[in-house]
Structure 1
Amino acid sequence: MFTFFTSQLPELKHLKVRQRQAVIAIALSMLPPTDRVLLRIIKLLLLSPLFLIFTVFTGWTLIPFLIIGGLCYPLLTTPIEINFAKKYLPEAIKQYSQGA
């Protein structure tokens, strides 16, 4: 199942939002280099159309598209990062609980 929010993960339900973000960050740091490259390529493919839109508009008409792009960036990339981090969550939770 594709996960869109950290609150959908049963392993992280007991944590607050900032704690969930910290655990996801730890899990992402555990990714092997090949998965990191794949994650970055997928994010680039998702964001490329957005950046192409920025080249079409100039001046003041660009501002609304920049705002939309700034809001869409985490909405597009966070679910992908969560799904890449899923398999490293148990180790990340252990590491987070030892550091806290």
Structure 2
Amino acid sequence: MITAYMKSAIVRFDPLTKAKPARIFLSLIPPHARAAIKVDTKILNKSSTATPIMSVTFKDDKVIEADPTKTPIDDFVAELDRYSAGLKLEEQLRE
């Protein structure tokens, strides 16, 4: 996963339901990138009214969101990598 262009990530999930994509997404963020990316994690309980979400904000303020209970982690990571590759290409063209 390309993390160089990510500014922040928000992950909200209920660990007692289908939370595997959210946990995998958090594990894919390398330790060295956690200093540059603001990661906000919130564990929801059964009585919570908040919706589960995986949200990433890029350095150009583009936000990509997904529901961890419905979106496969492979699709979410592919979408993040596709957008990051576009930002990388733009950066290379500016140089």
Q: Which has the higher contact order (CA 8 A, sep 6+)?
A: 1
Q: Which has the higher helix share?
A: 1
